[in-house]
Amino acid sequence: MAKKTKTAAVASGSTAPSGSLGIHIGISDKDRAAIAGGLSKLLADTYTLYLTTHNFHWNVTGPMFNTLHLMFMTQYTELWAAVDPIAERIRSLGHPAPGSYGQFGALASIQDAPAVPPKALEMVRILVQGHEAVARTARSLFPLADKAGDEPTADLLTQRLTVHEQTAWMLRSLLEE
């Protein structure tokens, strides 16, 4: 089998580097790039929320310490486990996954944790807002994944939405008087 030339690769719509095998999974290069871009934002939001939640786990104080310390540990553990499947989906689509603090800071829609740890209930409010923001990021990608027929990404988004919406509800419940 002859090697594909750069000219032939461009003509076929492949963006694979010369000498490498192109990606032919039934999703156009343009759609794969757009979906990978959206997933990169989801990865950045997820990682930023992971760091914030872990920070709050370490720094929570007050009468709800034990409850929140354990709840935050459960949440940051789940978030940590979520980053790998998101990054690997980006790679499956043929794009590099962001992985630096600078990239995450530029891509994330949520703020970094406050420099001074807030009071316990403010931590809960911040995490509610973070989970809702990550849910919005995931939901914003659905139309593109649907249009492209990207079922694996749609499945991943559904899983992430379930976790973030449920976690936001549970945290919100702590704020009721």
In a domain, 16, yes or no: no
What's this model's pTM, rounded to 2 decimal places? Answer: 0.87
Task: Return the SS3 of 4.
Answer: coil
- In 3D space, the residue among 18, 60, 37 whose CA is nearest the CA of residue 153 turns out to be 37
Specify the CATH number for the domain of residue 128: 1.20.1260.10
Please state, in angstroms and rounded to a whole number, the distance separating the CA atoms of residues 82 and 47: 9
Per-residue pLDDT of the chain (177 residues; tens, 9 = 90+): 444 444 333 333 444 444 567 888 999 999 999 999 999 999 999 999 999 999 999 999 999 999 999 999 999 999 999 999 999 999 999 999 999 999 999 999 999 999 999 999 999 999 999 999 999 999 999 999 999 999 999 999 999 999 999 999 999 999 998
Question: How much is the pLDDT for 132?
Answer: 98
- In 3D space, the residue among 177, 170, 142 whose CA is nearest the CA of residue 70 turns out to be 170
User: Domain range spanning residue 64?
Assistant: 26-174
Residues 158-173 have pLDDT tens digits of 999 999 999 999 999 9
In a domain, 19, yes or no: no
In a domain, 98, yes or no: yes
Question: How much is the pLDDT for 9?
Answer: 39
